[in-house]
Structure 1
Amino acid sequence: MATIIIDGEEQQVADGSPIMDACEDLGVPFACRAGMCGTCIITVQEGMENLEPKTPEEEDMGLADDQRLACQAIIKSGTVVATF
């Protein structure tokens, strides 16, 4: 199991799974859920290497190196610490 921590709150997720549901449980808002609106941008403080590479939708959005879309990110394993 992997761990996602958003603003100090922790949620367990299966290795290799999207973090969207866990982030929603931790208070991250979602609108389109398709990587188009940017509502769910999180800033990764630790564990970026534990996420799969950015999706084309994330690349198109022009996010900073430490930002991800919670609706698109997939955790490989380990722990990711982020803020919203």
Structure 2
Amino acid sequence: MGTALVDTCDEHPEAEVPFSCRSASCGTCRVRVKEGMALLSKPQDDELDVLEVFGDGKDVRLCCQINVVGEGKITLEVVEPE
């Protein structure tokens, strides 16, 4: 299944990804995947439902739902709340 990105962010607070619910219901931890999408797990229905509410593009994911499933460079950018 891979490494949960939320765990990695917990170990590296300098990543500055905001987390609230950690269960794909609030959208606080939305990140834009700038590089490395193929290295991440595919979004599941719960995550897609939340992202649809925000109207984000296919390059945005919920950090709390991502598992890293491959090796290579991954670049993420926190989506600032509007």
Q: TM-score higher than 0.5 here?
A: yes
| Structure 2 equivalent of residue 50 of structure 1 | 39
Give ranges in structure 1 of 5+ residues lacking alignment: 1-14
Q: Which moved more, 1:35-44 or 1:60-69?
A: 60-69
Q: TM-score, normalised by structure 2?
A: 0.77
Aligned residues: 70
Query: Which has a greater percent of strand?
Result: 1
Q: Percent identity?
A: 34
Q: Does 1:77 align with 2:66?
A: no
Q: Deviations over 1:27-84 (max 9, x none)?
A: 1011111000000000000000100100211111214200010100011022211111
After superposition, residues 1-16 of structure 1 pair within 5 angstroms as 16=2
Structure 1 residues 1-39: Cα deviation after superposition (integer angstroms, max 9, x where no partner): xxxxxxxxxxxxxx8111002234211011111000000
C-alpha separation between the residues in 2 aligned to 1:21 and 1:28? 11
Q: How does 1:26-45 map to 2 (within 5 A)?
A: 26-45=15-34
Residue number in structure 1 paired with 2:57: 64
| TM-score (structure 1 length as normaliser) | 0.75
In structure 2, the gaps of 5 or more residues are none
Q: Kindly report structure 1 stretches of 4+ aligned residues shifted beyond 4 Å.
A: none
